[in-house]
Structure 1
Amino acid sequence: MKKNRTLFGVMAVMATLSFAPASGALAEEIKIPVGSQAARDQGQFPASGLTQASVRTKWGNPTEVRGPVGEPPITQWIYPDFIVYFEGNRVIHTVLKPEH
């Protein structure tokens, strides 16, 4: 009987700890100011759905190309201020690089 209570107590502690918030020792907190990217004119960057040809026409050749990788093929075009992600021939996302 005592073993069952001890086992139940250990299991209860483990369950409680599994729902506890992670401490700073387990994760690093990254703070990004609200609107930090919104302050930059996002209309100046490739939008989802554009083709590789249209991106190249408007923004020129990227400084670096990575990929394609995986299935469906994902390619990254790196520009000085942003990175464009393509799935096949179409933009799926554009990520702004942090301002230094």
Structure 2
Amino acid sequence: MLISLLALTGAAVAAQGDRSTTRGTVVDMPASAGADTPDTLPRRSMTMAQVERRYGEPRARHGAVGEPPITRWDYAGFSVFFEHDRVLHAVVPGDFPDIRNRDELRQ
């Protein structure tokens, strides 16, 4: 199932007397895109206790690795990385930025 989104721009809406014309672009996205991802991810420097209170029990807790100790908690739709007991990063697996200068990556 696909969800169609209508992207509107301010310049695309033109008033014509009593009528308004709206133009936009339809973007098809899988219905599951972002379904398990919360509206906001944990912020940098939140404590483990704050993350657990706000997002609940993680699906998996991975033990600390390295020095300083880095710990990962996995939730449905995102992972949180901690340094000691503070959020270092929160990421959505598979949500990678577009690759630019792709030709420079080939050797």
TM-score bracket for the superposition, by shorter chain length:
0.5 to 0.7
RMSD: 2.2
TM-score scaled by length of structure 2: 0.51
Larger radius of gyration: 1
How far does residue 42 in structure 1 lie from its aligned partner after superposition? 7.2
How far did residue 67 of structure 1 move?
1.6
Alignment of 1:41-80 (within 5 A): 44-80=40-76
User: Comparing both structures, which one devotes a greater share of its residues to helix?
Assistant: 1
Seq. identity, %: 41
* Separation of aligned partners in 2, 1:78 and 1:46: 12
Q: Secondary structure at the match of 1:49?
A: coil
Distance in structure 2 (CA, Å) of the matches to 1:97 and 1:76:
13
Quote how far apart the aligned CAs of 1:44 are: 1.5
What is the identity, as a one-letter code, of the residue corresponding to 2:88?
A: I
In the alignment, is residue 96 of structure 1 matched against residue 92 of structure 2?
yes
- Pick the structure with more strand per residue: 2
Q: How many residues align?
A: 61
The CA distance in 1 between the partners of 2:69 and 2:85, in whole Å, is 9
Which amino acid letter does the alignment assign opposite residue 97 of structure 1?
A: P
